[in-house]
Amino acid sequence: NAGVTQTPKFRVLKTGQSMTLLCAQDMNHEYMYWYRQDPGMGLRLIHYSVGEGTTAKGEVPDGYNVSRLKKQNFLLGLESAAPSQTSVYFCASSSLRTGRTSPLHFGNGTRLTVT
């Protein structure tokens, strides 16, 4: 009963370093999303995917790239980390049934600090 799993849970990067956050879901959901949460800002959508091999930009996509090579995985990459990318990152997934999307199922988050 894993649901949505994010790895790693915590990470500290130096400015300019790169890293990839992995999101895996075992619910066969079509849609996957990456959000970032910052104090007083709520959650903001970075990128999302409506299916394997497709991705799209969300509200705050700059500085991030994503890939969805397999239906169950959605990767978020930071090519050159900046202190402004210090945040908590949440992955989520949802399914489409009879024209209605299910509520988002969230992972437990990745806390990233860029120094």
Partner 1 sequence: AQKVTQAQTEISVVEKEDVTLDCVYETRDTTYYLFWYKQPPSGELVFLIRRNSFDEQNEISGRYSWNFQKSTSSFNFTITASQVVDSAVYFCALSEEAGANSKLTFGKGITLSVRP
- Give residue for tokens 């908590």: 88
Reading the block at residue 88, the tokens are: 């908590």
Please, which residues bridge with residue 114 across strands?
A: 13
Residue 17 or 86 with smaller CB distance to partner 1 = 86
Strands 54-57, 100-101: pairing kind: unpaired
Minimum gap (Å) between residue 109 Cβ and partner 1: 5
Residue 14 or 28 with smaller CB distance to partner 1 = 28
Minimum gap (Å) between residue 44 Cβ and partner 1: 7
Minimum gap (Å) between residue 7 Cβ and partner 1: 15
Tell me the backbone φ, ψ of residue 11, rounded to 5 degrees.
-160, 140
Residue 73 or 106 with smaller CB distance to partner 1 = 106
The four Cα atoms 55, 57, 58, 62 give a dihedral, to 10 degrees, of 130
Minimum gap (Å) between residue 106 Cβ and partner 1: 4
Alpha-carbon gap, residue 99 to 106, rounded angstroms:
21
Binding site for partner 1 (CB under 8 A): 31, 33, 35, 40-45, 48, 50, 56, 58, 88, 90, 92, 94, 96, 99-101, 103-106, 108-109
